[in-house]
Amino acid sequence: MVQEAIAQARTKAPTIYDVAALAGVSHQTVSRYLKDKNALKPKTLERVEKALSELKYTPNLAARSLRSRALYRIVVVVPEASLYFPTRMLNGAAGAAHARGYRVDVVAMEGSAEARALQLDQLLSGEDIAGILSFVPRPKSGAVTKKESAVPLVVAGEYDNKMRARGSLADATAMAGIVRELAALGHRNFFHVSGPTAWPSARNRKTVYQETLTELGLTSLGIAAGDWSPASGYAAGRKIAGLKDVTAVVAANDQMAMGVIRALHEQGISVPGDVSVFGWDDVPEASYYIPALSTVHMDLETLGTRSMRELIARIRGDEPPQAGDGLPPMQLILRESTGPARQSRS
C-alpha cells in the first residue's frame, strides 16, 4: 500500500490521500495538518511531515481557494534591491508560510516615499491577497494606509527604507562580548573597522567597542571607516599591517573582516598567529574561509518565522502566537581567526 502511494505520486501530482496512505493516517488528519499542524500529536505530526517531504506534496492552492473562498497568497514586501537584505529572515518567513499551505510572492518597493505608499495602497486593495508581510516601514501617506485595510499587514523586523537595521536589530551588546573574549586571550591593542555612519548598527557597534575598551583599560590604535564591502576591509587591512602593535581587529561585519585577513596575508602577517580578526553576521561562507572566521550569529530565521506566524494568525482570525522576548540572543561563534595574543610582532 505504501509503495503504491509513492509510485502513484511519482507519475502524477500527489494528493492528501497519497500523503495519508504513506503516513498511515486518515486523509482528515492530513487536512487538519494543513489547517493547523499544532493540532496533531507529536508522533502523528512527524509521520505526516515525513510523508509530505518524501512525496514532495504541494497544496493545490487554486482548488482550495475555489472550495473555501479562502486566499492562499501572501506578499512579502522588500525595499529596492540591496546587497544587505536579510535573506535568512526571508527564508524563515517563507518556510513558515509554506508549512501552512500558503504561496509567497516577493514584491520590491522602489522610488520615493510617495511612490512606495501608492504601491502599498494597491497591494492592500488587492482582492487576491491573503496578507502582507513587510520588511520596510509602513508609509504614513497614502489613501488606504490612512485607514484600516481588509488585507492583514505585519511589519517584520526594524528596518528603514534603505534596509538599514534599527531598534533591536541594531543592538550592539555582543560587541562588548567580543572585546572581553579577546581581552581574555591576552589582547591589549585593538583596531576597529567600522561600518557606514548612516547605519545605526554600525554606529552602535563602534560606540560599544570604544566604551568597552575604556572600561577594561585597553588601547584602540585606530578606527577605519568601511562601507561593509570586502574591498573596504582590505584597505583597512593594509593600514593595519603597518601598525606593529595591533594584535586584535574587530570588524563590523564579516565581509570587511575577510578583506582584512586577505590584506594581512599578503603582507605575511599570520591570522591568528600575529593578529586575531573578529567579524559579525555569521554569513554562510564564514565557516569555510581560511582561517574560519570568528563572528556573531543573529538568529534572523526565527524572527522571520515569528513574523509570518503572526500574519497567518491574523489572516485566520486566530490568537496571535507568543511573540517571544524580542530578538533571539546573539551568539559569539569562535573559530580559527582568533587566538591568544602574541607579545610583539616583528
Q: Tell me how far CA of residue 246 lies from CA of 31, 44, 134, 239, 344, in angstroms.
A: 62, 58, 43, 11, 9
Residue 278, pLDDT > 90, answer yes
Peptide bond into 272 cis (omega under 30): yes
The pLDDT of 58-66, averaged and rounded, is 50
What backbone torsions phi and psi does residue 278 show, to the nearest 5 degrees? -120, 135
What CATH code is carried by the domain that includes residue 148? 3.40.50.2300
Q: Which of 122-131, 219-228, 285-294 has the lowest mean pLDDT?
A: 122-131
pLDDT tens string 150-207: 788 887 755 555 545 555 567 889 999 999 999 999 999 999 999 998 888 899 999 9
Nearest C-alpha neighbor of 304 from the set 133, 159, 163: 133
pLDDT at 273: 95
Query: Which of 96 and 264 is assigned the larger pLDDT?
Result: 264
Q: Which of 64-73, 84-93, 216-225 has the lowest mean pLDDT?
A: 64-73
pLDDT at 62: 44
Query: Which of 294 and 14 is assigned the larger pLDDT?
Result: 294
The total number of structural domains that make up the chain? 3
pLDDT at 341: 93
156 located within any domain = yes
Instruction: Provide the residue range defining the domain that includes 131.
Output: 67-163
Q: Kindly state whether residues 172 and 269 are assigned to the same domain.
A: yes
Instruction: Give pTM, 2 decimals.
Output: 0.67
pLDDT at 132: 85
The number of angstroms, rounded, from the C-alpha of 30 to the middle of its chain's C-alpha atoms is 31
Give the other-Cβ count within 10 Å of 273's Cβ: 12
pLDDT tens string 217-244: 999 999 999 999 999 999 999 999 999 9
Contact 202, 196 (CB under 8 A): yes
Question: Within the chain, where are the H helices?
Answer: 2-11, 16-23, 27-35, 42-55, 61-68, 87-99, 113-124, 173-184, 200-216, 230-241, 254-266, 300-316
What CATH code is carried by the domain that includes residue 26? 1.10.260
Element housing 104 (H / E) = strand 103-109
Query: Which of 329 and 47 is assigned the larger pLDDT?
Result: 47
pLDDT at 53: 78
Q: Kindly state whether residues 289 and 184 are assigned to the same domain.
A: yes
147 located within any domain = yes
14 located within any domain = yes
Mean pLDDT of the chain: 80
Q: Which of 180-189, 284-293, 321-330 has the lowest mean pLDDT?
A: 321-330
- Confidence tier at 340 by pLDDT (50, 70, 90): very high
Q: Kindly state whether residues 150 and 191 are assigned to the same domain.
A: no
Last residue of a domain, one of 163, 184, 208: 163
Residue 198 DSSP label: T
Q: Kindly state whether residues 25 and 98 are assigned to the same domain.
A: no
53 located within any domain = yes
In sequence order, the 6+-apart residues with CB closer than 8 A to the CB of 83 are 228
β-pairing, 189-194 with 219-225? parallel
d(CA 312, CA 307): 9
Grid cell digits, residue 144: 488606504
Q: Kindly state whether residues 173 and 281 are assigned to the same domain.
A: yes
Burial 84-121 (b: 16+ CB within 10 A, else e): bbbebbbebbbebbebbbbbbeeeebeeeeeebbbbbb
The pLDDT of 273-281, averaged and rounded, is 96
pLDDT tens string 6-37: 444 345 567 777 888 888 888 778 877 776 66
